[in-house]
Amino acid sequence: MRFDADWMSRADDRILEHLSEAGPDTPKEMADSDRVRFSRQHINARCKTLVEYGLLVHLGNGVYDITRTGEQYLAGELDARDLEAD
């Protein structure tokens, strides 16, 4: 069971799941995928927030990847309410 936080949106789980399965990707590619059904702009904004909380890492050139913390959240091993923004 996943424990999300008040700062999270519906897109966050889809983004994390996509990156966990597909590997590093850009918001544009995520928006074009069948799994993440949100606009590129919304995905981009959410990725920036997920980086602030340590669930994603920005690799440069608009490419994001999931972190170990992000994988722990997906596995239900981490309560996102305990995370603090950098």
Q: What is the dihedral of CA 43, 64, 49, 1, to 10 degrees?
A: 90
pTM recorded for the entire structure = 0.95
Q: Measuring CA to CA, which residue among 49, 44, 45 is closest to residue 26?
A: 44
Identity (one letter) of the amino acid at 42? H
What distance lies between CA 76 and its chain's CA centroid?
15
Q: What is the pLDDT of residues 40-59, one digit of tens each?
A: 999 999 999 999 999 999 99
Using the predicted structure, report yes or no on whether residue 17 has a pLDDT greater than 90: yes
Helix 10-22, helix 40-52: angle, nearest 10? 80
- We find that the CATH architecture of domain 10-79 is Orthogonal Bundle (1.10)
